[in-house]
Amino acid sequence: MNNPYSKAPDEQAGEFFRLALAFLSKHKIAPTPVNYQLAYDYVSGKNKQLKTLLDEHIGVSETVSPENLWHVYQQFYQQDIATLENMRQELRQLIANIQNEFKRSGGTITGYSNRLDMFASVLNSEPSQEEMTSEVDSMIHDTNSVAESQRQFNSQMTDIISEVESLRSEIEQIKEESLTDALTGISNRRAFDNILEKSLQSANDQNSPLSLLLIDIDHFKRFNDNFGHLVGDKVLRFLGKTLKRCIKGQDIAARFGGEEFAVILPYTSHIGAKVIAEMIRKSISAIELQDQEKKKSYGKITASIGVSEYLPNEASSTLIQRCDLALYQAKKEGRNRVIVN
């Protein structure tokens, strides 16, 4: 596994060290190795989902319980490490099995080759009928043994290939999970960053349009304060489902951070992007959220949306910044609207 902290300059790492300790002290968190890693990644900004989750815990209470911190650590670090280590162990065992099978098969083939040489020498010595019969019987026996050994080897290799395919599927699943937001089921910020860079490169190469949407739930904090974080999570899941329903083809929806979402629209100009943005906005505001068990209404939610079309050779950060300004303008003008920048 590559060291994720190897590229940080010494001065920057030192600054993060001081900020991490200050963060732990401010929120009365014990400076254990686990908590320090959480704090370091929080202040360095290298894991935005972790930062959002810790901010939510801190928003409820100025301090975070050791149990909650351990739960966060397990969610972001321990599970993947343990799973990958188990896979490494399984692959080591598979390799050992393959090596043993080749050794055993190689030994059998070598013995059979020697037996053929011996049979050839017997034939060259003008053997009697009895000797010929005996040698032929021995060759039939040895040939059957090699054939059986080969069948066993093929069976072993089939089983090993099946295990390798199973491991590959597990690795693909872990890869997919690492790029998926656990709460909403759409792409996370890490996946968004990767896909956006590739999409911009493709737009440049093909001289094709591309647009970006940034979507923010209006007054989400107030909604959380009134109804609690569990209901807030339901709102976020609802928005994720709405985005998946409204996009198609190569369009990508992602949770950008907190209550903010993003949509990448390849081959789409700002004109088409505004149409899609309006459809998303109306789909969000058209639904009244309800608790079916408690027969309780949470009312309607609305969202503000910023739209920007990619400019040739524009940096991804600049595109995001322009789109963020459009989103800010939508909120400034009264929310529940789409602004193109």
- The dihedral through the CA atoms of 92, 93, 96, 97 has a sign that is negative
For residue 177, how many other CB atoms are within 10 A of its CB? 13
CB 119 within 8 A of CB 139: yes
Q: What positions carry a catalytic annotation?
A: 259
Residue 323 CA to residue 262 CA, distance in Å, equals 10
pLDDT in the model for residue 226: 84
**Are 270 and 309 in contact, with CB atoms under 8 Å apart?**
yes
Q: Is the pLDDT of residue 1 over 50?
A: no
Query: Could you write out the DSSP letters of every residue in 103-168?
Result: HHHHHHHHHHHHHHHHHHHHHHT---HHHHHHHHHHHHHHHHHHHHHHHHHHHHHHHHHHHHHHHH
Please tell me the predicted confidence (pLDDT) of residue 97.
63
Query: pLDDT tens digits for 295-328?
Result: 778 888 999 999 999 999 899 999 999 999 999 9
Determine the pLDDT at residue 122: 64
Phi/psi at 186 (5° precision): -105, 180
Largest CA distance in the chain: 108
Percentage above 70 pLDDT, the chain = 72
Confidence class of residue 291 from pLDDT cuts 50, 70 and 90?
confident
Across the chain, mean pLDDT equals: 81
pLDDT at 9 over 60: no
pLDDT tens readout for residues 168-203: 676 666 666 678 888 898 999 889 998 999 999 999
CA distance 114 to 130: 22
49/306 Cα distance (integer angstroms): 22
Query: How remote is the C-alpha of 73 from its chain's centroid?
Result: 17
Chain-centroid distance of CA 129 in Å reads 72
pLDDT band at 32 (very low <50, low <70, confident <90, very high): confident
Position with higher pLDDT, 271 vs 222: 271
Residue with tokens 């937001």: 181
Select from 255, 215, 303 the least CA-distant residue to 49: 255
Give Cα 258 to chain centroid, integer Å. Answer: 18
Q: How many CB atoms lie within 10 A of CB 109?
A: 14
Q: What is the pLDDT of residue 160?
A: 63
Residue 302 DSSP code? -
> In the chain, what percentage of residues exceed pLDDT 90?
34
CA neighbor of 84 nearest in space, from 214, 217, 177: 177
pLDDT at 289 over 90: no
Amino acid identity of 286?
Answer: A
What residues does 213 pair with on adjacent strands?
A: 263, 307
pLDDT of residue 210: 97
For residue 337, give the 3-state DSSP assignment: coil
Q: Which of 8, 12, 40, 4 is nearest to 24 (CA)?
A: 40
Choice between 20 and 77, residue whose per-residue pLDDT is larger: 20
SS3 264: strand
Q: Which of 100, 104, 98, 200 is nearest to 158 (CA)?
A: 98
Round to whole Å and give the CA distance between 161 and 213: 44
308 vs 221, higher pLDDT: 308
At 290 the pLDDT is 78
Q: Could you give the CA distance from residue 169 to residue 163 in angstroms, rounded to a whole number?
A: 10
pLDDT band at 15 (very low <50, low <70, confident <90, very high): confident
Please list, in sequence order, all residues whose beta carbon lies within 8 angstroms of the beta carbon of residue 311, skipping any fewer than 6 positions away: 319
Of 42, 13, 49, nearest to 27 by C-alpha is 42
How far apart CA 51 and CA 69 sit, in angstroms, is: 12
Q: What is the pLDDT of residue 83?
A: 61
Average pLDDT, stretch 207-220? 95
> Which of the two residues, 337 and 16, has the higher pLDDT score?
337
**pLDDT on residue 332:** 95
Residue 65: which H helix or E strand, with range?
Answer: none
Q: pLDDT tens across 103-161, in order? A: 666 666 666 666 667 766 766 666 666 766 776 677 677 777 767 777 776 676 677 66
CA atoms within 13 A on the CB side of 330: 30
Res. 7: pLDDT tops 70? no
**pLDDT tens string 226-236:** 888 888 888 99
Report the pLDDT value the prediction gives residue 209, as an integer from 0 to 100.
97
More confident residue, 104 or 166: 166
* Residue, of 58 and 101, whose pLDDT is higher: 58
pLDDT value, residue 74: 72
pTM value is 0.56
User: Would you say residue 60 has pLDDT above 60?
Assistant: yes
